[in-house]
Chains A and B, each alone.
Chain A
Amino acid sequence: MSIDPTRIRRFQHGSRVPGWDDAVDLTKSPAVVPDPATTPVPAELRAEIEDYMGRYPDFRSAAIPALHAAQRLHGWCSPTALEQVACVMRLTPGYLTAVATFYDMFETEPKGDVYVYVCTNISCSLRGADKIYEAMVAAGGDDPALNVRSFECLGACDIAPMASVGGEYVGPLVEEDCAQIVADVKAGRPVLEAKQLRRLTAAGTRQPPPVDPNPASGPTASGNDVEGQKDM
């Protein structure tokens, strides 16, 4: 059987992948290393980046720490942020754009200040992470102060399903925790203090988790009863 072309859906501009054929402005000359005389850089940011540059045999190694610093200051890797880093490091903004777009933690679009990474990888999914992510989006997805994202394994499968709220690992989460996370962030409180990873002792010495031992209400059982084999 051959493929029926009428059944292949396309985007309005005819492409099957959005954006790949967006025209590039070929007449524009490439950005050069910003001129320090015309590029104001906050003194603290400059000092921090210069400190990083001094740590490595090759100053370019400081690119990632410098972008972290700029993102902390500007909220995202904005053109201004990249230009300031480029100015201090004597690199082209293009070089830094290439780096910033590679790594998941650098935002190349404006985002809320506090990130909420909800892990939706294998181990967390087995514990119902997809529902937590949906609940988190419902609770704080539209909040301009938050940046809610699903994320790959964050390295805390022992507290699955979990999330990282501005670097603070919390779990195991239930759906009701999501509203609490948003409230805690807004109030500037420590997030979900009782569920913070940093308070946990090693697994062998841990108290049994305070969840209902009845498997019918356990996290894996929730959507897993024969009919609902679609928990992941």
Chain B
Amino acid sequence: MQLLYDGIDQPGLNTLAVYRDKRGGYEMLTRALGMEPADVLAELQASGVRGRGGAGFAMGTKASFLPKGDMDKYVVCNADESEPGTFKDRELMQKNPHLLVEGLTIAAYAVGANKAFIFIRGEYELQTSILEAAVAEAKAENLIGGLDLWVHRGAGAYICGEETALLDALEGKRGNPRLKPPFPAVQGLYRGPTLINNVETLMNAPIILRMGGGEFAKIGTERSTGTKVVSVSGCVQRPGNYEVELGIPSREIIFGLAGGPDEGRSIKFWFPGGSSAPVLPGTDEFLDLPYDFESMAKAGSMLGSGAIIVVDDSVPVVDVALKTAKFYRHESCGKCTPCREGTNWTVKMLERIDSGEATPMDLDIMASVCEHIIGNCLCVLGDAMAMPIGSMIKHFRPEFEAHIEAARERVAPGAYVAQVNRGDHAGQTAVLEPTGAGATGGLH
């Protein structure tokens, strides 16, 4: 079923000439403006559409948390799509920017917001210019009424995809997450009530109005309504974005649409929802699961941003774990100690595995580090590393242990093993060769 991807490659869809004049775009906005805001909100709630950015919170419910009244309210579109493996918003914004502008304006009308921002990640330069052109066109034709809408381009930081960090970045600060509560719906941008939604979520708003909330809710499963754009990448033959009805078997996405792994290879494991989601083994038990929010949660993972990364049997799990951990170490903003230190030490322990210094006990230490990160930080960036690493250790412990043993045998017993200054931590400065206790001047 194609709702968002329906005719997405139509030439010129990014212009009003096609989007409005040929395809009837902005009709739903006109209809919404003729309704009471509360009725628009009710439609969104009836649709049951859940956030497509990662957390999967019901959009209508979130919007209903905003206080009523005459204060300045804001709608922010989270287009800081940085979750590894996720690239759906990029294609949607590039090809159909007006749908986002329309959806955003509908959401703003429903909650009574007068200012709106699209926070797009800094690397998406092409998409920024396309969106800016679309917004300018919509403003020139007076389509978005009194809504003060701007595209704000970030400058490269994964953490800004976290809603409160995004707000800080939008306020011109370093993107550090804030303590919650108060939630952004109550106190967000410039301390005003703020609705933050993902690109795909907002793009669903015009579709919901066209179909009616009740009809929309019939698509998908009972609690995961609608369609989902799934980004499939990694070891598959046809990587790309595929729009599917929520609840279809995962196998159908990975094998049917994306073509499965290369010939002669089998799936070792896969991330069902971006690199933050705990991995699932490539066995039938998991591949046959319906792809929706509940089934993924029940299997111990999450749907997240809807990005499936497939890893085939030729890739050592330790390498994927190290890549994942390094990413989170790099992107940790450093505000909370468990995340800042935990991601760093997890990387060091994983590097130790490869250099032959690790013992199986390290796996338990790593698991305990992960345990101490989860739930102990302002945001879930640390958790987002801890969960996949923890799940990799859980599902592939024998392989980790074999890797440790193999690396230890490679490094002959008693050989010198570098303890520090390894990897890209080392920097440019020369290191001292260990020449004995005297040489280090007692600085231990």
Contacts and interface: CB of A to CB of B under 8 A. Distances in A.
Interface of A: 3, 5-14, 16-19, 55-58, 60-65, 67-68, 98-99, 102-106, 117, 121-123, 125-127, 151-160, 164, 167-169, 197-198, 201-206, 208, 215, 218, 220-221, 224-225, 229-232
Contacts of A154: 123
Contacts of B434: 6-9
Contact of A155 (B95, B121, B435): B121
A142 B91 CA distance: 33
Given A8-B434, A64-B153, A68-B153, A230 B316 contact: yes
A221 to B, nearest CB: 7
8 contacts: A8-B440, A9-B418, A64-B155, A156-B87, A215-B262, A221-B262, A231-B315, A231-B319
A105 B155 contact: yes
A65 B152 CA distance: 8
Q: Which of B156, B172, B316 has the most CB of A within 10 A?
A: B172
Contacts of A160: 233-234, 239
A65 B117 CA distance: 13
A230 B72 CA distance: 55
A67 to B, nearest CB: 7
Contacts of A221: 262, 314
Contacts of A63: 172-173
By CB atoms of chain B within 10 A, which of A156, A157, A201 has the most?
Answer: A157
Nearest to B240: A203
A18 B235 contact: no
Interface stretch (B285-293, B322-330, B378-386): B322-330
B81 A65 contact: no
Contacts of B419: 3, 7-9
B231 A103 contact: no
Given A5-B444, A123-B234, A155-B90, A60 B173 contact: yes
A160 B258 CA distance: 14
A220 B312 contact: yes
Contacts of A7: 416-417, 419, 434
A137 B85 CA distance: 24
A104 B157 contact: yes
A204 B6 CA distance: 11
Interface in B153-191: 153-158, 169-175, 190
Interface stretch (B37-45, B202-210, B220-228, B422-430): B422-430
A83 B127 CA distance: 30
A36 B417 CA distance: 57
Given A16-B421, A155-B124, A229 B314 contact: yes
A52 to B, nearest CB: 9
A21 B235 CA distance: 44
Nearest to B313: A224
Given A11-B432, A169-B126, A208-B238, 15 more contacts: A6-B434, A8-B419, A9-B431, A12-B429, A19-B427, A61-B170, A103-B156, A122-B324, A152-B327, A157-B231, A158-B87, A160-B233, A218-B262, A224-B314, A231-B314
B166 to A, nearest CB: 12
Contacts of B153: 64-65, 68
B333 to A, nearest CB: 8
Shortest beta-carbon contacts, A-B, top 10:
A203-B240, A167-B125, A157-B233, A104-B156, A103-B155, A63-B172, A224-B314, A232-B319, A60-B172, A105-B156
A8 B156 contact: no
Contacts of B257: 203-204
Contact of B155 (A18, A68, A122, A203): A68
Nearest to A104: B156
Given A105-B122, A205-B9, A156 B90 contact: yes
A157 B175 contact: no
A215 B222 CA distance: 41
B285 to A, nearest CB: 23
A231 to B, nearest CB: 6
A102 B331 CA distance: 10
A202 B322 CA distance: 32
B312 A157 contact: no
A230 B319 contact: yes
A93 to B, nearest CB: 14
Contacts of B172: 56, 58, 60-64, 99
Nearest to A216: B264
Given A68-B153, A153-B327, A202-B91, A10 B432 contact: yes
Nearest to B427: A18
Residue with the highest number of chain B CB atoms closer than 10 Å, among A8, A159, A205, A231: A8
Interface string B297-336: 0000000000101011011100110111001001101000
A6 B416 CA distance: 11
B262 A204 contact: no
Contacts of A159: 239
A152 B174 contact: no
Given A64-B152, A230-B316, A121 B173 contact: no
B315 A224 contact: yes
Contact of B171 (A8, A61, A102): A61
B171 A58 contact: yes
A68 B129 CA distance: 14
Nearest to A57: B190
Contact of B429 (A18, A98, A122): A18
Contacts of B121: 155
Nearest to A101: B174
Contacts of B86: 153, 155, 157
B263 interface: yes
Interface in B339-388: none
B156 A153 contact: no
B82 interface: yes
